[in-house]
Amino acid sequence: MSALLDTTDALHDQMIALGRAARAAAAALATVPGPSKDRALRAAAAAIRARAAEIKAANAEDMASARDLSGPMRERLMLDDTRIEAMAKGLEDIADFPDPIGGVLAEWTRPNGLRIQRVRVPLGVVGIIYESRPNVTADAGGICLKSGNAAILRGGSESIRSSRAIASCLAQGLREAGLPEAAIQLVPTTDRAAVGHMLTMRDYIDVIIPRGGKSLIQRIADESRVPVIKHLDGNCHVYVDAAADLEKARKVVLNAKMRRTSICGAAETLLVDRTIADTALPVLVKDLLDAGCAVRGDAAAQAADPRVTAVAPEDWDTEYLDAIIACGVVDGVDGAIDHINTHSSHHTESILTEDPAVAERFLSRVDSGIVLWNASTQFADGGEFGMGAEIGISTDKFHARGPVGAEQLTSYKYVVRGDGQTRP
């Protein structure tokens, strides 16, 4: 057994108690009407605004204890007025969306008169395991509540004071709406072994969603006995076809790579049809280089601009999350499809072309959660899709794929209404 599963008995009892409370809260939440959940979300948002000073004070303590952390980690940990307002606004946005629960997904009547409905229900209890960003406490708690699920939140130890302050505001919202406070529970201990417990609590947790670096997520997926919705890396591709409109392609390539380089929908590889290596490739590469992006290219890309350095085999599998791009030529759309299906993390890929048949071939054959035609990969986002707040982008195919919002945290049941039918 690995370190993650190394646990103690006292902690075990504490975690099981948490699980039992979550299960009871989930049973209550499952049939709570939408307006009650929305009232709790809005009251929590109000509490976050009203108690901003308290949250900032807790965060200041976290920051003071976190002097040894790296710059990016401190940046993620920090809460200011803008971020606190964004949390509150985020909860209100979740409240504004329609209730995903109770909706009839399909209905039909059988020849024997049985009326069958497939109805959306919550999954039950969702475990969220995250790292330094304390705002995940509000975002994830809100999405779980909206979808009628109880949440067990396990934040990073470096942000525990901030997370506690935020969780206290969520509890206040639940209380004011008359909902059970155990609907959103923060694991109180910073003991790392708590994560190991969560991964084995199949009777109390229905799904685990890890938020954080790829290695954390991979380790959780490897060890968990509870189903996991994974958001691994976003090794996203843009393919510029021979039939592309070059001006459109220039705009989209630059946006896909450089708008924000640190998000999972940022492009990490540019593929160009070999037949336009002498024409389009130099223009596209120059745009990127001039914008401050390092380009690691194959022979064709290196020939296109002297500033291009040689690409290494592992570059094709790398999510840089930085101003770096791998670049090479492929043999038409089928070459692009092969390359992408071999190297992609199945997150998001885009084709630039004015040829609809080529585009449709790409869209149907590329095996990724999101495939785009003539649009930037940076649209890979629940909000941009109009799906509301998201808890991540699933790179799995099982259960949920692509943006994971409240609707993706649901299951269904079959409701059958009859009049005394028996089976012959």
**Where do contacts with a second copy occur on this chain (CB under 8 A)?**
27, 30-31, 108, 110, 114, 116, 121, 123-124, 206-207, 222, 225, 227, 245, 248, 251-252, 254-256, 259, 341, 359, 363-365, 367-376, 378-379, 384-386, 397-399, 401-403, 411-423
Give me the least distance between CB of 256 and a second copy, in Å please: 8
Nearer to a second copy by Cβ, of 300 and 359: the residue is 359
Give me the least distance between CB of 226 and a second copy, in Å please: 9
Question: Is 106 within 8 Å of 117 (Cβ atoms)?
Answer: yes
Burial class (CB in 10 A: 0-12, 13-18, 19+), 105: exposed
Give me the least distance between CB of 248 and a second copy, in Å please: 4
Give me the least distance between CB of 26 and a second copy, in Å please: 9
Q: What are residue 210's phi and psi, to 5 degrees? A: -85, 135
Nearer to a second copy by Cβ, of 65 and 218: the residue is 218
Give me the least distance between CB of 320 and a second copy, in Å please: 18
DSSP 279: T
C-alpha separations of 134 from 18, 131, 175, 304, 397 in Å = 20, 8, 22, 45, 28
Q: What are residue 254's phi and psi, to 5 degrees? A: -65, -40
Nearer to a second copy by Cβ, of 53 and 108: the residue is 108
**How far apart (Å, rounded) are the C-alpha atoms in residues 68 and 150?**
34
Give me the least distance between CB of 415 and a second copy, in Å please: 5
Token pair listed for 49: 């605004």
Nearer to a second copy by Cβ, of 28 and 303: the residue is 28
**How far apart (Å, rounded) are the C-alpha atoms in residues 317 and 79?**
34
Token pair listed for 382: 């629940």
Nearer to a second copy by Cβ, of 3 and 415: the residue is 415
Give the Cβ contact number of residue 72 at 10 Å. 10
Nearer to a second copy by Cβ, of 168 and 368: the residue is 368
